[in-house]
Amino acid sequence: MSILSSIHETLGIPTMLIFTTVFLLSLWIVTRRQKYSNLPPGPRPLPFIGNLLLLIKTPSTYKLFHELAQQYGGIFTIWFGSQCTIVLSNVDTLREAFVKNGEVLGGRPRGKTSEELTGYNGITANDGESWRVLRKFSLLSLRNFGVGKNSMELETRIQDETKWLQTEISGYKGEPFDIAELFNKAVSNVICSICFGERFDYNDGTFKKLLHMLDFFFAHGGPRTGSRKMWKQVVENDRAIKRFVKEKIEEHRKTYSGDTIRDFVDLYIQAEENEEDKTHLTEENVFQLIVDLFEAGTETTKTSLTWGVLHMTQHPHIQDKCHKELEIVFDKDHIPSAGDRLKMPYTEATVYELQRCANIAPVTIPHRAQEATSVGGYIIPAEAMIFGNLFSVHMDKEYWENPSAFNPDRWIKNGMVIKHENFMPFGIGRRICLGKDLAKMELIIMFSALMQRFSFKLPDGAVADMEGVQGMTLTPKPFKVCAIDKYLS
Ligand code: HEM
């Protein structure tokens, strides 16, 4: 005490304050150096706030990641405050991290956002054994409902929905309309039939309200950046979506028999009744799984199709080429199936190209390192957050010639569609999109059926905005489009 007071008297308060600050900073730097040695390179972080200033300055995270990838290469570090974050921006680092080290680097971050919205239940926010059991269960169940095998039943449901979509579009008689809204309804109806065993009329009030809430959730439900008021609304929307799912469960109980499992809600009731495996197939987990499927299964596919139409308005000759290809191989009333792919290589190539250029998921959902791991010769420390930077992979000049050009021909060799290792719109590894087979089926069927029948253009004087807005997905700004029905003209 006497030593402290004599130092105090000799140095005075301001010098003491400076001395303490320098001491704490040095301690912070030394501890960090020890914990975070051999990190991938990246912009210099400031104490405590990390690179937040950089993140605030650039409105779109994916653009910042793309710029930093040009500067620092395929693997770099960026600090979200004190959260160490690693960004993987080329095929090699992505494969090494998410495939070779997929188990260790396949966790999901723990944080207030996912805790409040999911309680870490379901698939998307979950990890460890609970995630593994649930993921296997969902893939098997999706397969039983016809996803990923040549199921006529599921394909017919998508084709039927596509017919509704065509009729609605044709009803606008070439006048401008919002196609995103229609895609929302069509795609959501497919996932509704898998989850709840029913489709909704496009004018159903509850359905419209529900889709509006889903849109809001995806626009603002990412990591908490908006105001408190906005966040409150996100949580309220999420609760309303859950109330809707709960109502469906109550309706199902009245007709549930257990002999035939009709949809995911029946699986939930079965899980509730089945006493054997309550460790992971809990009601909370299966309930959140339905919410995950419903939320992830609508917005993503709808946004991809909406970008597809917007790109087509900018490339009339590509629309024309698709139409000619489809006109030759199919009758007027035939809605193409996924199995028809081989007959329509140019249209299939156009779907791949629209996914590459649209980048609706420019970065993956964040992963979490469950242990310290080496990738690309650097250390990814335990508890680091990891993003796959899919945008940079799809725009890599070393791989794609003139990457910003929309060019379906890059997918065709000797009249056949080829694969590209730099194409990963659904991510890669253990956490690859759970609904990719369903999404692929919906995209090819709906896109080709629209190309077969309509020609899309923007209203006179309208200019396309190809920048998009980044929320949880990268969506086109709202626009109206005119669809000329070739069968009517
Ligand atoms: C074109 C449409 C779609 C795209 C581009 C897409 C893309 C993605 C991406 C990039 C991820 C993150 C992978 C990672 O974290 O590394 C993901 C995860 C996921 N997707 Fe999709 N998705 C699409 C459609 C769907 C559909 C239709 C469903 C549901 C039926 C779905 C359900 C999920 C789920 C549940 C996850 C989390 C998987 C997990 O954490 O294990 N997605 N998706």
Least confident of 58-72, 94-108, 287-301: 287-301
Band of pLDDT at residue 30, cut at 50, 70 and 90: low
CA distance 396 to 384: 25
Q: Which of 88-97, 148-157, 340-349, 436-445 has the lowest mean pLDDT?
A: 148-157
Quick one: pLDDT at residue 430?
96
Q: Would you say residue 321 has pLDDT above 50?
A: yes
Residue from 103, 295, 300, 428 to probe ligand 1 pocket by mutation (most atoms less than 8 Å from CB)? 300
DSSP 57-123: HSS-HHHHHHHHHHHH-SEEEEEETTEEEEEE-SHHHHIIIIIITTTTT-B----HHHHHHHTT-TT
> Which of 166, 139, 177, 419 lies closest to 289, judged by CA?
139
Residue nearest to atom 23 of ligand 1 (CA): 300
Q: What is the chain's alpha carbon radius of gyration, rounded to the nearest angstrom?
A: 25
CA-based torsion, 467, 472, 473, 479: positive or negative: negative
Ligand 1 pocket check for 300: Cβ under 6 Å: yes
pLDDT digits (tens, 9 = 90+) for 160-171: 999 999 999 999
**pLDDT value of residue 58:** 85
Mean pLDDT over the full length of the chain: 89
pLDDT in tens, 73-101: 999 999 999 999 999 999 999 999 999 99
CA of 73 to the centre of ligand 1 (A): 26
Q: What percent of the chain has pLDDT over 90?
A: 61
**How confident is the model over 349-399, as pLDDT tens digits?**
999 999 999 999 999 999 999 999 999 999 999 999 999 999 999 999 999
Range in 49-58, 218-227, 347-356, 473-482 with the lowest mean pLDDT: 218-227
CB 141 within 8 A of CB 134: no
107 C-beta closer than 6 A to ligand 1: no
pLDDT bracket for residue 151 (50, 70, 90): low
Residue 217 clears pLDDT 70, i.e. is over it: yes
* Per-residue pLDDT tens over the stretch 448-487: 999 999 999 999 999 999 999 988 899 999 999 999 998 8
Which of ligand 1's atoms lies nearest the C-alpha of 293?
A: 29
Greatest mean pLDDT among 22-26, 146-150, 346-350: 346-350
pLDDT number for residue 11: 67
Q: Which residues, 6+ apart, have CB-to-CB distance to 323 below 8 Å? A: 451, 452, 455, 486
Is residue 415 left, alpha or beta, with left meaning phi > 0 and alpha meaning psi from -120 to 50?
Answer: left
Give the pTM: 0.90
Q: Is the pLDDT of residue 1 over 60?
A: no
In short, whether 154's Cβ falls inside 6 Å of ligand 1 is no
Q: Which pLDDT value is given to residue 16?
A: 72
**3-state class (DSSP) for residue 413:** strand
Closest CA to 408 of 317, 304, 329: 317
Q: Is the confidence at residue 4, as pLDDT, over 60? A: no
Three-class SS state of 478: coil
Instruction: Give the Cα separation of 314 and 151 in Å (integer).
Output: 35
Residue 259 has what pLDDT? Answer: 82
In the predicted model, is pLDDT for residue 265 greater than 60? yes
Residues 297 and 437: their CA atoms lie apart, in Å, by 11
